[in-house]
């Protein structure tokens, strides 16, 4: 081969690699940013209180607490609906990204659907009740689980590895008692 072919192909390969990296990098960064926002919002709204019945709010402090709880519910509903829609849109518009993120353990379509389900759980709440609180906690748990990155175990028996903890303290005591190393 002629020497000038190498001189031309090396920079061309670098530029082509850079362009491919930029095309792939933007959707991945968007998906990870949406995941991070959703996890922050889940943690933020996990401890919020639900509104007590309005009829029980007698003092101005109780009325302000009721109004704040209603604003929190509305904000949670809108936030989770928006994040879920964005994740679902990203999943539908970028099938290669969906497949790549699934390989890394994040199903963005499922995460978007669970965030929308969480939004609907917040939308159904009018006053504080044990039934609604359990529904919200169940939806929060499902959304948190869907947003976590986890690798599936292999289905092949030869590749599947079972990790077991080792208790090294017991091993050290047994050798010292017997006198042999």
Residues 59-93 as b/e (b if ≥16 CB within 10 A, e otherwise) read: eeeeeeebeebbebbeebbebbbbbbebbbebbee
Q: Which pTM was predicted?
A: 0.71
Q: Over 90: is that where the pLDDT of 117 sits?
A: yes
pLDDT of residue 20: 81
Residue 133 tokens, joined: 């609180």
Q: Over 80: is that where the pLDDT of 120 sits?
A: yes
Instruction: Give 94 or 154, the one with higher predicted confidence.
Output: 94
CA distance 84 to 11: 41
Over residues 84-107, mean pLDDT: 88
Contact between residue 127 and residue 50 where contact means Cβ atoms under 8 Å apart: yes
CATH fold of 3-151 reads 1.20.120
pLDDT of residue 165: 65
* pLDDT interval class at 113 (50, 70, 90): very high
CA distance 54 to 52: 6
Task: Count other Cβ atoms within 10 Å, centred on residue 161.
Answer: 7
pLDDT of residue 153: 58
Over residues 137-152, mean pLDDT: 82
Q: Over 90: is that where the pLDDT of 82 sits?
A: yes
């Amino acid at each position: 081969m002629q020497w000038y072919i190498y001189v031309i192909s090396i920079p061309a390969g670098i530029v082509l690699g850079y362009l491919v990296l930029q095309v792939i990098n933007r959707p991945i960064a968007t998906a990870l940013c949406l995941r991070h926002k959703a996890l922050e919002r889940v943690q933020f709204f996990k401890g919020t209180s639900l509104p007590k019945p309005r009829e029980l709010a007698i003092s101005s402090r109780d009325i302000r607490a009721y109004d704040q709880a209603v604003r929190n519910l509305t904000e949670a509903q809108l936030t989770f609906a928006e994040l879920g829609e964005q994740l679902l849109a990203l999943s539908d518009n970028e099938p290669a990204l969906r497949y790549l993120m699934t390989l890394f353990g994040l199903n963005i379509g499922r995460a978007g659907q669970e965030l929308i389900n969480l939004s609907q759980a917040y939308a159904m709440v009018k006053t504080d009740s044990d039934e609604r609180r359990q529904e919200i906690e169940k939806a929060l748990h499902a959304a948190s689980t869907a947003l976590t990155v986890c690798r599936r175990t292999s289905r092949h028996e030869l590749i599947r590895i079972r990790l077991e903890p080792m208790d090294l303290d017991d091993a050290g005591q047994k050798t010292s008692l017997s006198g042999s190393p």
